[in-house]
Chains A and B, each alone.
Chain A
Amino acid sequence: MKLALPKGRLLKDTAALLERAGLGLAGYDEQSRSYRLKSSRFPDLFLKVFQERDIPIQVAIGNYELGICGLDWVEEFLVKYPSGDLERVRDLGYGRSDLYVVASGHAGVSSVEEINDGFDRVRIVSEYQNLAESFALRQRLRRFSILPIWGAGEIYPPESADLAIIAETSVGNFASYALVPLARILTSRAFLIANRNGLAKADLSELLAYLQPFEVETEAETPLPAITAGMFEKATQGEKIRLALPDGHLLKAAAEFLDKAGLNIRGYSGEMGEGGECGESEKATRRPTIDLPGVMIKVIRPQDMPLQVANENFDLAITGEDWLNDHLYRFPSSPVKEILKLGFGKVTVVAVVSEDLPARDTHELRDLVNGGLLPTIRVASEYVNIADKYARDHHLARCKIIPTWGASEAFLPEDADLLIENTETGETLAKHNLKVIDTLFESSACLIGNENPPETDFKRERINYIVEALRQASS
């Protein structure tokens, strides 16, 4: 029997639930680096820790009979694949977080009914692209674009998106981003989910009996705040170029690099504060400021930058070449181009298999497929398009690409055969009993921009200024 458990947000409460249930797990905590767990009470139970949003698909395809994750990710899966073998078994009562459709307070739209009149083409960003599409169709939006993102959705409206669909624990948090919630489209808590075939055939009763919620939080739904005219000041007009800076593991090196380039940016490095507003200078925010008039900065995920720059939601962005390639493999005629190699954040993108797989290179891997030893090859990667192209280029017939959202190394060997992953030193890979069978390319941080020329002289001048400053720092 196999159970998939969440990392991240739900980990603490889930660990408490499992402890109450007396499963006797060791190593399911935030510090632990092991993905595979054993239960002292259920010796036949195999437990693995995943990113929350990987869990519905792992359960639906039957790799795990049971899983625990937020209802938001369950619905994100089921809205796209209603016939998927996924059953919501039980509300576990904790981890409340609701999905909201939000717009900027400056957009002048105060209800979902007004969306069609408010925008010619509605740009929607969300980590939940299927729920976003379903919302758009249900609302009969005449024309819309869904831009999937990895996170930081709250920072996009109004300049980089018209609507964001985001999870939030309290509706009161939106005001600090100058966002207004137009609708709550889902009330989400942690759920126990099961594979339908598993429920139909295997006896899961003992485990189901143990995984009971203590009590389901039944707090009333806070009504959405009333939106009144003049709630938010009109956004400051004026021409601005938009610069995207990376959060996550590139942040520190990027901040140092920008310092070296003499661009005086405040509120970028340091600990991320609550809300997106500019706090005191030492506190980091998602909207840092710069001593250069006409430049607006937002801190977003490096994964999301190429798509955003292609859509001219940002003029310049600091991202990784890995993500630029992932974008260009999917959209070969995209107007995004690399302007500068910045040199920091070096990683190698590699093809990885389990140490136990009898293949030393891609040829031998293909022989395993052709010889019937691997009837289908499951390729797990955060880089879906790089993985897809790799499988195509190497004629890995009958391959399944499994998109992952981090911690991909945990997928091998049970839940994937091949991994396309980045590595700095190879240490993590070795620790997980994995080996590199191919090197795809080297990647480091880069500055990207749009091929299409800037609309105005002012913008061109500002872009050139920043590019030149970074060029000098990189040489």
Chain B
Amino acid sequence: MKVPKCKGMRDLLPDDMAKFRRIEKVFRDCSLKWGYDEVRTPTLEYLHLFTATGTLTPSMLGRVYSFLDWDGWSGERVVLRPEGTIPTARLYLENLAGGEITRLSYVGNTFTFEETGKERRERWQCGVELIGTSQPLADVELMLLASEVLGKLGIGPLEVKLCHAGLIKALIGELGLGTAEQTQIFDQILEGNIKALAEIKTEDVDLKRALALLLDVTGSAPGFLENVGALLGKALPRFESSLSNLSSIAELLSTMDCPYQIDIASGRGFEYYTGVMFQFYVSKERVGGGGRYDDLIPLVGGPPVPASGFALYVDQLMDLVKLEGRPVPRILVQPRDSDVKGLKVCFEVARSLREAGYLVELDQGKKAVGDYRWLLSVSGEGLFRLTDQATGRKSELTSEAEILKIMGESG
């Protein structure tokens, strides 16, 4: 009876894993050099870490994998982590709090239920968090780091879309709604439904024009934000801090020749975002995103420590990244004598060849020899016959040094 994999889950086959490891390696190398130390949080967390007010929307929480643990008689559930930032904030609080600036990176899986089972319910991401500063410089650092990782992976061209949670909240604030309704609209926007903003009905002609500009035009320089500011009229004071924060970030990115778009419709993400929100796109595919979350650490019970971070979506990147490099030549070691002594010589010569960097398999009698560049037939007396399958050349040899010499010369 064949048992298939669970709905919404994915097997990673050898080629997939080669891509996965490459992404992970480039991400780790880059983030380490930028000063981000790697951490790993557990797969299981308490559900109430995520229900703390304003961290995840009810609709996201309705799709988490939560259950009672074997000691869960209290009725409090545990959850397969649905995202990476909140657990990292918890890890920071529990173990590392107090430092001035903390840079953390992680590679981990997240779990979210998706009804049809056609999309993935388990996803992998590479993320970083920069904790302890609220400077625009920090947000720019994150975007440049993400851009560097994608560049080194040969994935591009990268589109960075910017938005600002403060800006969206100020716009909602103009609606004159109660707190609960405001939260609800903000949730809708974060889940990708920007139309909720277009429904803002206001008598304020200035605000209407500014809103139209924000919704209809995608900005690509700080000047755009100046224009929005100029149109806002008497509502401007309520938008000023968000606009100027976003301007500073945009200006820095312009200086660094990092192209971006200011696109209010890109404001999808998490409820805990307080400042800039950024999304990374490569050929229309969203490959990552992040933002500033200055209130999150206090919300999970910590001091008022500002932070921001991003995650790159490994599953999407795997579709874009190419496998590189030539495969290591494979050698098949074939025992001529199946007695103990003969096998011993085989294992020994195989070990030496591996130490020299080759990929060496012992002939178990089942696999076609066509897959190997080299065949090495070994006798119990330590006599070797090396066959180069690329040229058909055969050599009778008596030492490992001779084997390595021929292989080295053949490249």
Please give the residue numbers on chain A whose beta carbons come within 8 Å of chain B beta carbons, in ascending order.
82-83, 116, 121, 123-124, 134, 136-138, 140-148, 307, 310-311, 327, 330-334, 397-398
B352 touches A (CB below 8 Å): no
| Shortest Cβ gap from B50 to chain A (Å) | 10
Q: Which residues of B contact A138 (CB under 8 A)?
A: 58
| Shortest Cβ gap from A318 to chain B (Å) | 19
Residue of B nearest to A146 (CB): B75
CA distance A313 to B400 in the complex (A): 75
Query: Do residues A137 and B61 form an inter-chain contact, with CB atoms below 8 A?
Result: yes
B29 touches A (CB below 8 Å): no
Residue of A nearest to B48 (CB): A143
Known contacts A137-B61, A140-B58; A311 and B73 CB within 8 A of each other = yes
Known contacts A82-B115, A134-B62; A334 and B51 CB within 8 A of each other = no
Residue of A nearest to B59 (CB): A137
Chain B 43-76: CB-based contact to A (< 8 A → 1; otherwise 0): 0000010011110001001100000101111111
- Tell which of A124, A140, A145, A147 has the most Cβ of chain B within 10 Å: A140
- Tell which of A121, A142, A147, A311 has the most Cβ of chain B within 10 Å: A142
CA distance A291 to B31 in the complex (A): 71
Known contacts A140-B58, A142-B48; A116 and B71 CB within 8 A of each other = no
A137-B58, A137-B61, A140-B51 known; 19 new pairs, CB 8 Å cut-off, are A82-B115, A83-B116, A121-B48, A138-B58, A140-B53, A142-B48, A142-B53, A143-B48, A143-B52, A144-B51, A145-B76, A146-B75, A307-B75, A311-B73, A330-B73, A331-B72, A333-B70, A334-B71, A334-B73
Residue of A nearest to B60 (CB): A137
Residue of A nearest to B71 (CB): A333
CA distance A137 to B64 in the complex (A): 11
| Shortest Cβ gap from A452 to chain B (Å) | 13
Query: Do residues A142 and B71 form an inter-chain contact, with CB atoms below 8 A?
Result: no
Residue of B nearest to A139 (CB): B58
Q: Which residues of B contact A148 (CB under 8 A)?
A: 75
Q: List 14 A-B contacts (CB under 8 A).
A: A134-B62, A137-B51, A138-B58, A140-B51, A143-B48, A143-B76, A145-B75, A310-B73, A311-B74, A331-B71, A331-B73, A333-B70, A334-B73, A398-B1
| Shortest Cβ gap from B82 to chain A (Å) | 13
CA distance A397 to B116 in the complex (A): 26
Residue of B nearest to A125 (CB): B75
Query: Do residues A142 and B51 form an inter-chain contact, with CB atoms below 8 A?
Result: yes
Contact pick for A145, options B54, B62, B71, B74, CB 8 Å: B74
Residue of B nearest to A147 (CB): B75
CA distance A428 to B89 in the complex (A): 58
Q: Which residues of B contact A124 (CB under 8 A)?
A: 75
Q: Which residues of A contact B62 (CB under 8 A)?
A: 134, 137
Interface positions, chain B 14-62, Cβ under 8 Å from A, are 48, 51-54, 58, 61-62
Q: Which residues of A contact B54 (CB under 8 A)?
A: 140
Residue of B nearest to A306 (CB): B73
CA distance A116 to B179 in the complex (A): 15
Question: Ordered nearest first, which 8 A-B pairs have the shortest CB separation?
Answer: A145-B75, A310-B73, A143-B48, A331-B73, A137-B58, A147-B75, A83-B115, A137-B61
Q: Which residues of B contact A146 (CB under 8 A)?
A: 75, 77
Q: Which residues of A contact B58 (CB under 8 A)?
A: 137-138, 140
Residue of A nearest to B64 (CB): A137
Query: Do residues B70 and A331 form an inter-chain contact, with CB atoms below 8 A?
Result: yes
Q: Which residues of A contact B76 (CB under 8 A)?
A: 121, 143-145
CA distance A332 to B73 in the complex (A): 10
| Shortest Cβ gap from A156 to chain B (Å) | 13
Q: Which residues of B contact A144 (CB under 8 A)?
A: 48, 51, 76
Residue of A nearest to B76 (CB): A145
- Tell which of B51, B70, B73, B77 has the most Cβ of chain A within 10 Å: B73
Q: Which residues of B contact A83 (CB under 8 A)?
A: 115-116
Chain B 137-153: CB-based contact to A (< 8 A → 1; otherwise 0): 00000000000000000
CA distance A327 to B73 in the complex (A): 9
Query: Do residues A116 and B115 form an inter-chain contact, with CB atoms below 8 A?
Result: no
Q: Which residues of A contact B51 (CB under 8 A)?
A: 136-137, 140-144
Residue of B nearest to A307 (CB): B73
Q: Which residues of B contact A333 (CB under 8 A)?
A: 70-71
| Shortest Cβ gap from B391 to chain A (Å) | 53
Residue of A nearest to B61 (CB): A137
- Tell which of B1, B52, B74, B76 has the most Cβ of chain A within 10 Å: B74
Q: Which residues of B contact A310 (CB under 8 A)?
A: 73-74
CA distance A42 to B12 in the complex (A): 54
CA distance A330 to B71 in the complex (A): 8
Known contacts A134-B62, A144-B51, A333-B70; A311 and B115 CB within 8 A of each other = no
Query: Do residues A142 and B73 form an inter-chain contact, with CB atoms below 8 A?
Result: no
Query: Do residues B75 and A123 form an inter-chain contact, with CB atoms below 8 A?
Result: yes
CA distance A143 to B52 in the complex (A): 7
Query: Do residues B70 and A142 form an inter-chain contact, with CB atoms below 8 A?
Result: no
Residue of A nearest to B72 (CB): A331
Residue of B nearest to A145 (CB): B75
| Shortest Cβ gap from B58 to chain A (Å) | 5
| Shortest Cβ gap from B186 to chain A (Å) | 13
| Shortest Cβ gap from A329 to chain B (Å) | 10
Q: Which residues of B contact A141 (CB under 8 A)?
A: 51
| Shortest Cβ gap from A2 to chain B (Å) | 27
Residue of B nearest to A132 (CB): B75
Residue of A nearest to B54 (CB): A140
Q: Which residues of B contact A142 (CB under 8 A)?
A: 48, 51-53
Residue of B nearest to A370 (CB): B1
| Shortest Cβ gap from B390 to chain A (Å) | 49
Residue of B nearest to A113 (CB): B180
CA distance A397 to B68 in the complex (A): 23
Q: Which residues of B contact A116 (CB under 8 A)?
A: 53
- Tell which of B51, B68, B72, B75 has the most Cβ of chain A within 10 Å: B75
Residue of B nearest to A333 (CB): B71
Q: Which residues of A contact B48 (CB under 8 A)?
A: 121, 142-144
CA distance A10 to B72 in the complex (A): 35
| Shortest Cβ gap from A209 to chain B (Å) | 33
Residue of B nearest to A372 (CB): B1
CA distance A140 to B70 in the complex (A): 25
Chain B 103-138: CB-based contact to A (< 8 A → 1; otherwise 0): 000000000000110000000000000000000000
CA distance A310 to B1 in the complex (A): 41
| Shortest Cβ gap from A295 to chain B (Å) | 24
Q: Which residues of A contact B61 (CB under 8 A)?
A: 137
Residue of A nearest to B66 (CB): A133
Q: Which residues of A contact B115 (CB under 8 A)?
A: 82-83
Interface positions, chain B 309-355, Cβ under 8 Å from A, are none
Q: Which residues of A contact B72 (CB under 8 A)?
A: 331
| Shortest Cβ gap from A182 to chain B (Å) | 15
Residue of B nearest to A336 (CB): B73
| Shortest Cβ gap from B77 to chain A (Å) | 8
| Shortest Cβ gap from B163 to chain A (Å) | 24
CA distance A123 to B53 in the complex (A): 17
Q: Which residues of A contact B68 (CB under 8 A)?
A: 330
CA distance A129 to B219 in the complex (A): 48
Residue of A nearest to B179 (CB): A113
Residue of A nearest to B299 (CB): A142
- Tell which of A124, A331, A334 has the most Cβ of chain B within 10 Å: A331
CA distance A123 to B74 in the complex (A): 9
| Shortest Cβ gap from A326 to chain B (Å) | 12
Q: Which residues of A contact B75 (CB under 8 A)?
A: 123-124, 145-148, 307, 311
Q: Which residues of B contact A145 (CB under 8 A)?
A: 74-76
| Shortest Cβ gap from A84 to chain B (Å) | 10
CA distance A147 to B68 in the complex (A): 11
CA distance A275 to B72 in the complex (A): 32
CA distance A143 to B1 in the complex (A): 44
| Shortest Cβ gap from A280 to chain B (Å) | 36
Q: Which residues of A contact B74 (CB under 8 A)?
A: 145, 310-311
| Shortest Cβ gap from A334 to chain B (Å) | 5
